[in-house]
Amino acid sequence: MLQVSFLDIIKAQNRIASEVVKTPLIRSEALSRLTEADVWLKLESLQKTGSFKIRGAFNKISSLTTEELSKGVITASAGNHAQGVAYASSLIGVSALIVVPETAPETKKAGIKKYGAELVVYGANYDEAEAHAYRLAEETGRTFVHAFEDNEIIAGQGTVGLEALLEKPDFDTILVPAGGGGLICGIAIAAKAINPDIKVIGIQTHASPPWYYSFRAGKLVDVEYSDSLADGLHGGITQGNLDLAIGLVDDFILVEEAHVAEAMAWMAKEHHYMVEGSGAVGIAALLQHSLGRLAGRKVLTIVSGSNVDAGKLAKLIKEHA
């Protein structure tokens, strides 16, 4: 069972503060005009490794015992979590092994190796890679660092919300990209501790909607998946994270792929920031008025990452010129 308190997030903030970027919190004049609300962006896209994931990874790895550190860590991921684990391990001086499926893009493999992690390519898909990583963890004694179903990971990701609310404590609503659930659970714990009336809303795409349907059913629901620009949000969730979210998160909404593409291009043109699809889903919801009437409210949206292929983003910008 996952158990994360506000105190755990404060401890995580103290633990990671010297190694992560205190990312900018900026007001979007354009989104504020469009929605008649007061809209702010928390730019985790400017975080080390281009994603919030370094927060949870560093908090988890730095909480391990000396004996655990001596045996190293392992994870399965081809995305931002892998780079977060690799980079955090390099900072702490611990051996990291990352297992990725055969389908992992070369750019992401290069990003993992850049931080000194050992890379193992195994399996036709993520599930096969993860199963192999668990086997290797048993064989080698390495600690498996889960991307989202882990108390220290969630506490680390929660520092995104803590950091924003310490700077601007009067937000009414927080929009959070929802993938595995570590980020939204962590932010919700911090937000509700500071202001129980604040609304925390998760955003997914129709291409990967497990939170949307499982949250409404109160249990894990099988859904269909398809390719998505928000690849960092793509995949299943666990009962542990769902149980945690049910008591904390107010709602989940879905956005269309076309609107994610538009939001990525809009952020580049309007704010001059490179943002990956996963980081743009909150922007997409605001641009499309998917949240209903927000007039007069103070809204924070988490821009969670910037790891998008430059050529892909350039194409989207051209298409939405």
How many other CB atoms are there within 10 angstroms of residue 219's CB atom?
12
- Catalytic hit among 53, 60, 192, 298: 53
Tokens of 244: 């945690």
Question: Which entry of 51, 77, 304, 306 is annotated as an active-site residue?
Answer: 304
For the chain, how many residues are written?
A: 321
Q: What is the dihedral of CA 147, 150, 154, 155, to 10 degrees?
A: -130
What CA–CA distances, in Å, run from 267 to 29, 82, 231, 255? 12, 25, 18, 16
User: Active-site residue 63, yes or no?
Assistant: no
Active site residue 70: no
Structure tokens, 131: 């199963």
Biggest CA-to-CA distance, the chain: 57
Active site positions, annotated: 53, 304
